[in-house]
Amino acid sequence: MQYPTFTKEHKSLMSKHLSEDIFNKLNTLNTSSFFTLEQAINSGIKNPDSGIGVYAGDEESYKVFEDLFDPIIEEYHGFAKDDKHQSNLDANDLIAPNPDVKGKYIISTRIRVGRNLKNIPLGPAISDEQRLEVEKLVSKELSNFENDLSGTYYPLDGMSEKDKNTLIEDHFLFKTGDRFLESAGLNKDWPKGRGIYHNDEKTFLVWINEEDQLRIISMQNGGNIKEVFQRLCKAIQKLEENMSFSFNEHLGYITSCPTNLGTAMRASVHIKLPNLAQNMKEFEKITNKYYLQIRGIHGEHSQSEDGIFDISNKRRLGVTEVQCVQDMYDGVVALIKKEQEF
């Protein structure tokens, strides 16, 4: 392919870091699952509003295309080439008493991690057969879960439009036809091999074969962040008893988008901050200080509605899972304090 034409609309870290020299060096390379630079950057080229704009097809992509990935990882996570990742999934280490016992601000809390099976390509390079294999393995494993984690797997293929739309509207299920995932090759053979597992209360959920092969999710109404984290840690531990996930000492858990490397964790609250919504400068001072990201209430690339925001940790690599949740918690405490001052 030719060096892409980036316009001033292209805002991604990929468009910032892909110089012509790096492009020429990487353009003819591929990984052992035949993943190329062209596939890796297609989403960021087609979607100028991408934040990152580059995906990996397998763990090897992070090595083969390191001249592009390393500066992006360094800028997003503040994590250097020789740094080592550390994991801590001990919920006892989190200090997080409910910051909003009266339920005035926090509507709900959700913490998710991404996981991908060892030795199987990531979503952008996986074959249709491998995707189905992942669905089979993971849903079988989940069928052994008991007590509060016990639930049912619902494949997307065959789910009624009504059920699907209700699950999406209620924030439980991923959207259909996401244009960022589409051009990353992640929507191939849709909807086959995709689905959602959840318990009756919908407090423990697993997405299968969306942006990552697994998104393991714990969520509930209100601000009991510790309880949400405890449930998630328990579920991860149970899954790891019988499944091996792609992981290395440098990058932690391997994910298709470099923003998720390391812990692959996004801990968020949906929170009402109508006063701060009118004072975005003050708002962003706090979110920058606590390494937080602001999203709209229908997930990534959506807008906030009625002064309600999705606030989550931004750093995911080089910090532990406990620290990710602590970043979000400490920032939320500071946001509520500021909101009350207006």
Binding site for ligand ADP (CB under 6 A): 108-110, 112, 171, 215, 219, 266, 268-270, 295, 297-300, 310
256 binds, among ligand ADP, ligand IOM, none (CB under 5 to 8 A by kind): none
Catalytic residue among 215, 231, 315, 316: 215
Cβ-based burial of 215 (10 A; exposed 0-12, middle 13-18, buried ≥19): buried
Rounded CA separation 33/13 (Å)? 25
User: Which residues form the interface with ligand IOM (CB under 6 A)?
Assistant: 12, 50-53, 180, 211, 257, 259, 300
270 binds, among ligand ADP, ligand IOM, none (CB under 5 to 8 A by kind): ligand ADP
**Cβ closest to ligand IOM, residue 44 vs residue 121:** 44
**Cβ closest to ligand IOM, residue 114 vs residue 151:** 114
Q: How does DSSP classify residue 260?
A: G
Catalytic residue among 31, 203, 259, 320: 259
* Closest by Cα among 112, 94, 83, 147 to 255: 112
- Smallest separation, CB 197 to ligand ADP (Å): 15
**Cβ closest to ligand IOM, residue 141 vs residue 300:** 300
299 binds, among ligand IOM, ligand ADP, none (CB under 5 to 8 A by kind): ligand ADP
- The yes-or-no answer on residue 300 being catalytic is yes
324 Cβ partners below 8 Å, 6+ apart?
Answer: 263, 265, 266, 267, 313, 315, 316
Rounded CA separation 137/271 (Å)? 36
Q: List 198's β-bridge partners, or say none.
A: 152, 205
- Smallest separation, CB 113 to ligand IOM (Å): 13
Buried b (16+ CB within 10 A) or exposed e, 144-173: ebeeebebebbbbeebeeeebeebeeebbb
- Smallest separation, CB 33 to ligand IOM (Å): 20
Q: How far from the centroid of its chain's Cα atoms is residue 153's Cα?
A: 21
208 Cβ partners below 8 Å, 6+ apart?
Answer: 134, 135, 138, 139, 153, 193, 194, 195, 196, 197, 214
How many other β-carbons are positioned within 10 Å of the β-carbon of residue 104?
Answer: 12
- The yes-or-no answer on residue 194 being catalytic is no
- The yes-or-no answer on residue 112 being catalytic is yes
- The yes-or-no answer on residue 115 being catalytic is no
- The yes-or-no answer on residue 75 being catalytic is no
Catalytic residue among 295, 315, 320, 324: 295
- Smallest separation, CB 210 to ligand ADP (Å): 8
User: Are 251 and 317 a contacting pair, CB within 8 Å?
Assistant: yes
**Cβ closest to ligand IOM, residue 226 vs residue 295:** 295
- Smallest separation, CB 148 to ligand IOM (Å): 29
Known catalytic residues? 112, 211, 215, 257, 259, 266, 295, 300
